[in-house]
Amino acid sequence: MIKPDFTQPVPADLGVVHFIGIGGSGMSGIARILIGMGHKVTGSDLRDTSNVAALRELGAEIHIGHDAAHLGNPDTVVVTSALWPTNPEYLLAKERGIPVIHRSQALAYLTTKKRLVAVAGAHGKTTSTGMIITALLELGVDPSFVNGGVIAALGASSGAGKDNLFVIEADESDGSFLHYDTAIALITNVDPDHLDHYGSLEAFEQEFAKFARGASELVAISSDDPGAVRVGAMLPEKKLITFGQAENADVRLTAVDASGAQVAFTVSARGQSLDARLRIPGLHNAINAAGALAVLIGLGFEPEPALRAIETFGGTERRFELHGERRGVKVYDDFAHHPTEVAAALAAARAVVGGGKLITVFQPHLYSRTRLMHKEFAEALSVSDQVVVLDIYAAREDPEPGVTGAMVSDSFDNQAQVHYVPLWDDVPAVAASLAGEGDFIITMGCGDVYRMVPALLTALES
């Protein structure tokens, strides 16, 4: 992957903007807002996705594939850290002296002079951000926003609002979350991840502390996650509002019932005790709701109307999303790609599946993460009745000798529970053969495993 050059000044006027990798959820969200501001937007991506199609409808000129000829003549080029340094459009832009800015710099440009809510954490960011945005709209606020996933009720991952509030999902993977002028920060957790970039857990946590110290008004932070607790200890107490199940949490969850398709709980805040029920399952989503409530309280809303507004949230795409049912087998998809996320998502799925079998089709993401966490993945996935493990989605990394999806499958205590299927085209038939009426199949990972869903539905039919 490329190393972002944050020393590159952001032009006062971005002019014509070319996005390399425009189809990503974050990149497409920024592009959508720039189009709405009147900028001409061009771009390229490896695949013709729904995000690409939506941007084309708005007037963006987008090429499929990366080629120097696709660059055109932009005033500014926007890139992500996932870009390879050999990308021909990137190299030509650098050669021609066109300003090349990181995605986070473009997002910071959009948020200038706005009251910014930035949501960070190893996981839970997209759902928490979606909850805050949905609740603000329900409360009569019209915020601008850029989320890392499509909010189901809005059909979009970004929007330009009329009010002074801007809500974003802030990416910690490459340190770019430090580049925002944040008013209110939400830290969902500081679970170890991206250690290939940071080098150590201590450095990872120190970066979160820098992010939090940069918030001018308030930091809402988990009371339960050990890393978040350590980060919180580095911060001025007057800026903190904690949330979670800990007894000392400012926004405290109790009586959580995550046994069904809708998680219910009681939350105590500002001397009030309120019952709530979300439209989505899982203890992790109750915790996400508590974090969103902490932010809304920090923004000045009373707890009860804020909580009722959060209850209207209906989920985001690729978060336990139902795609269809064939011969009594439901097929879901989920973005989980870290052991903690996988465990949380499967616990929620187990509550929903009832007496049926839970069959997980898992695509590991990144060689480094698989090498470091293959045992943790096996432990998290073992909640499933059956697991099909694909090979690794490399994303921004070069292959590592000996590191494959087999590292995950070999780490299972019960080998009869797991099937390593390295060839993509073989996976649907294997997964379908394991499923019967009343069972669930869930594809899981943040790579391209979601693209397998149609083939799984077809395999189930046959």
125, 134, 341, 397: the catalytic one is 125
Catalytic site includes residue 239: no
89, 169, 172, 317: the catalytic one is 169
CATH number of 321-461: 3.90.190.20
Provide the β-strand partners of residue 241.
Answer: 220
User: Which pTM value belongs to this model?
Assistant: 0.83
Question: Are 324 and 457 spatial neighbours (Cβ–Cβ below 8 Å)?
Answer: yes
Per-residue pLDDT tens listing for the chain (462 residues) = 676 677 888 999 999 999 999 998 789 999 999 999 999 999 999 888 888 999 999 999 999 999 999 999 999 999 987 788 899 999 999 999 999 999 889 999 999 889 999 999 988 999 999 999 999 999 999 999 999 888 988 888 899 999 999 999 998 776 678 889 999 999 999 976 655 555 677 888 989 999 999 999 999 999 999 999 999 999 987 789 999 999 999 999 999 999 888 999 999 999 999 999 999 989 999 999 999 999 999 999 999 999 999 999 998 877 788 889 999 999 999 988 889 889 989 988 888 888 899 999 999 998 888 998 999 999 999 999 999 999 999 876 778 999 999 999 999 999 999 999 999 999 999 999 999 999 999 999 988 899 999 999 999 998
Give CA–CA dist 392/422, Å, rounded.
Answer: 9
Q: Where are the domains of the chain?
A: 17-102, 113-310, 321-461
Q: CATH number of 17-102: 3.20.20.70, 3.40.50.2300, 3.40.50.720, 3.40.1390.10? A: 3.40.50.720
CATH number of 113-310: 3.40.1190.10
42, 126, 127, 340: the catalytic one is 126
> Who contacts 4 (Cβ-Cβ below 8 Å, separation ≥6)?
79, 81, 102, 104, 174, 176
Catalytic site includes residue 316: no
Helix locations, 121-192, DSSP H: 125-138
Catalytic site includes residue 169: yes
